[in-house]
A and B are shown apart, each in its own frame.
Chain A
Amino acid sequence: MSDTIVLHGRAIVGGIAEGEALVTKETISGWGGINSMTGTVIEMRHELRGVSFKDKILVFPGAKGSSGWSAAFHTARLAKTAPKAMVFTTMTTKIALGAVVMRIPSITELDGDPLALIETGDWVKVDGDRGIVEVTKRAKRAAAPEKIAATA
C-alpha cells in the first residue's frame, strides 16, 4: 500500500500546483454561479453554495450554464480568488477556455474517477506538464503530519 493514489490523465493546461481538494459531484456555473471577487459559489441549491474555491484544487464534473464561464473565472484569476488547479471529468468549451485563461494546471480524462477517489480535504498535487494527479488522503495526512510538512 502506498500512501498516495496516483491518477494519469490528459493535461489541458500545464504547470504544477498542490493544495487541499474541494470536491463536488455537481457542475459549477461561472457567470451567475460564482462571485469572482470573493471566489465563492453563489448558485441557489448548489451543494457548495457559500463555499470558497480560492487556492483549492477544484475537483468537479465540469462547467455548466452561462457562456460567461471563462470571463467569470478569468476575473477570479485577476482578483486572486481562483482555484490553484482543476481536475474534472466532462470536457466542454466553457471549461477548456476557462482553464486556459485562468492559467492553472488542469487535467481531465483520468484513468480513475476523481469524484469517487478524491474527497474534500485530501491533499492533491496536479502536474499539468505530465498529466499526473497525486492524492494523499486526509486520514493518511493526519497519521503522517511530517510527510505533509515535507510536501507542502
Chain B
Amino acid sequence: MNLTDDEKAMLDGHDGAAKRKAMELLVRYSEALGAERFVDTNNVAGVPGSSTLFLKNYYKDHNGGNYEAIFSLFDLDSDEVVPVPKVSAYSCHLQGGMDPNEWATMGQTKEAFEHFQEDEAQVADHGIQIMKTCTPYLAGNVPVKGEHCAWMESSAVVFCNSVIGGRTNTEGRESTSAAMLTGKIPDWGFHRDEFRHGTHAIEVEVPIETVQDWGMLGYFVGGAVEENIPVISGVTYQPNLVRHKHFGAAAASSGGVELYHMVGITPEAPSREIAFGPRNPVETIKYGAAERRKIYDNLNSIGTSTDVDFVMLGCPHYSIEQIWEAARLLDGKKLSPNTKLWIFTSRSVKSMADTNGYTKAIRDAGGLLLTDTCSAISQAIPKGTKVVALDSAKQTHYLPAFMGIEAWFGTTKECVDAAVTGHWRGELR
C-alpha cells in the first residue's frame, strides 16, 4: 500500500496506541480488499464500542468489559486494551439499544438499560454525535455529492450513494470505529469513479407510485442483481425521499445493493448511457405485473393467521412526513385491545413529532412512538406476539426470521387498519 506521511506516523504509533491499532486494522482490511491507498473521510457513521451483554461478559476479564476494553478488543480487533482518545473525524452513532424512556415496555431489563446509559455517556464523551438512528440523513447528517463517507447501515449507505451521490462502501463496525479515530478508509469500491457505473438494466413496465410499490420494486431488484449496480428505467412517477428510503432499504436487504441509478432521477444518471458509462449491461431484467405479484406473494408467504397482535412501523426510521401520516390515519380511532402499535424514529425527528402533537395523538390512540432502534435491531416485540403487520419490505425480510413469528406486508394504511381492527385485510391493489 502507498501510505502518506500522516498515515505512516499513525501506524508507527506517533499518535498513540489506539490510532496505531486502528491503522493496523485498516491496513489489514485494505490489503484484503486489494486497495492501494486510503482516502480521507470526515463523515463516519457507526456503532462504536456498543456492546451486548454477551460482549460485556466475554471481555469481563479485561477492565471489567468496559467501553475502552470493548472498543480496543472488538472494534479495533486489538489483542490488548489501549486508551481510546476522542475521535478525530466527524462521527455519529447509528441505531441501537432501546428507547431511553420505554425500555421496560420493550422488554429490556434495568441492568441492560443502565449498561446502555453508560455506553451512551462514553460515546458522547468521545465526541461522537448521539444520532441513534438508521437514517442519519433525516437527523442532521446529510452528506453532499462527492463527499467521501465511511458509513455502516446498508439502507443509509444506499441512500448516501444513490440519492445524494455521496461516496461510501458498506462499512462495518470495526472499520467505522477505526475511521473515527484516523479519518481514513480504504480507497476502494464506491469511492472510485470506475466502480460506480451500472451493471444491470431494470426495465420497469408497471406504474410505481406508492411507498409499498417502491418497497416491492426494491425487494425485487435486490434479489435480481444481488450486490451489483442496477440502472432502473421506465419510472414515470417521481419518487420522494420516503420512497427512495423504502426502495433502497429493500434492495439492500434482499440483495446487497449499495448504489442504484434511476434514469433521469438520481444524480449520476442523467441518461442511461451516462449511468452505464463504459459498461454494457450484463443482463436486462423486466419488472412487470407478474413480477410485482410474485414479490407481493413472496413477502406475504410467512403469514397464515389474520389475527394481528403487533404492528411495527418505522423501518427505516420514519420521517416526520410518515409520522404525520400515521397520526392522521389514527385520528379519532383506538387500537384493538389485542394489538400493539410501535412506530420507530430518531430522537431528533421525535422531538418535532412531540412539538407537533403527533406523539400524543399516537399515544391517545393506544400506540407508541419510540426511538433509537427497531424490533429487528433490538429483537424486541410485545410479549406473546404471534403475527406482525409491517409496511417495510426490509423489516419483513428480517423480523420473522429473528423472532419466529408470522408477518404481513402491506401499505401503511393497511397496517394502521390492522392495529385498529386486530385483523389483516391487506391485498395487492
Interface residues of A (CB under 8 A from B): 10, 12-13, 27, 29, 32-33, 37, 42-44, 61-71, 74-75, 78-79, 90-94, 96-101, 103, 106
Cross-chain contact A94 with B255 (CB below 8 angstroms): no
Chain A residues in 8 Å Cβ range of B152: 67-68
Measured in the bound complex, the distance between the Cα atoms of B152 and A69 in whole Å is: 10
Chain B residues in 8 Å Cβ range of A96: 29, 32-33
Cross-chain contact B170 with A71 (CB below 8 angstroms): no
Nearest first, the 9 A-B pairs at minimum CB distance are A70-B172, A12-B32, A64-B256, A96-B32, A67-B152, A93-B169, A71-B173, A97-B172, A32-B398
Q: Which of A43, A71, A79 contacts B172 (CB 8 A)?
A: A71
Cβ of B391 under 8 Å from chain A: no
Cross-chain contact A32 with B34 (CB below 8 angstroms): no
Q: Which of A13, A68, A79 contacts B32 (CB 8 A)?
A: A13
Chain B residues in 8 Å Cβ range of A12: 31-33
User: Which B residues between 133 and 155 are near A, CB-CB below 8 angstroms?
Assistant: 151-154
Q: Can you name 27 A-B pairs with beta carbons within 8 Å?
A: A29-B253, A32-B402, A33-B401, A37-B54, A42-B401, A42-B402, A43-B401, A44-B397, A44-B400, A63-B227, A64-B255, A64-B256, A65-B256, A66-B154, A67-B152, A67-B154, A68-B172, A69-B172, A70-B175, A75-B55, A78-B58, A90-B227, A92-B189, A93-B188, A97-B172, A97-B174, A98-B172
> What's the nearest-Cβ distance from chain B to residue A61, in Å?
8
> What's the nearest-Cβ distance from chain B to residue A151, in Å?
27
Total contacting residues, chain B, CB less than 8 A? 41
Cross-chain contact B226 with A64 (CB below 8 angstroms): yes
Chain B residues in 8 Å Cβ range of A78: 55, 58
Interface residues of B (CB under 8 A from A): 25, 28-29, 31-34, 47, 54-55, 58, 74, 77, 151-154, 157, 169-175, 186, 188-189, 226-227, 252-253, 255-256, 302, 376, 397-398, 400-402
What residue in chain A is nearest B168 (Cβ atoms)? Answer: A93
Chain A residues in 8 Å Cβ range of B74: 74
Cross-chain contact A93 with B172 (CB below 8 angstroms): yes
Chain A residues in 8 Å Cβ range of B402: 32, 42
Measured in the bound complex, the distance between the Cα atoms of B397 and A44 in whole Å is: 8
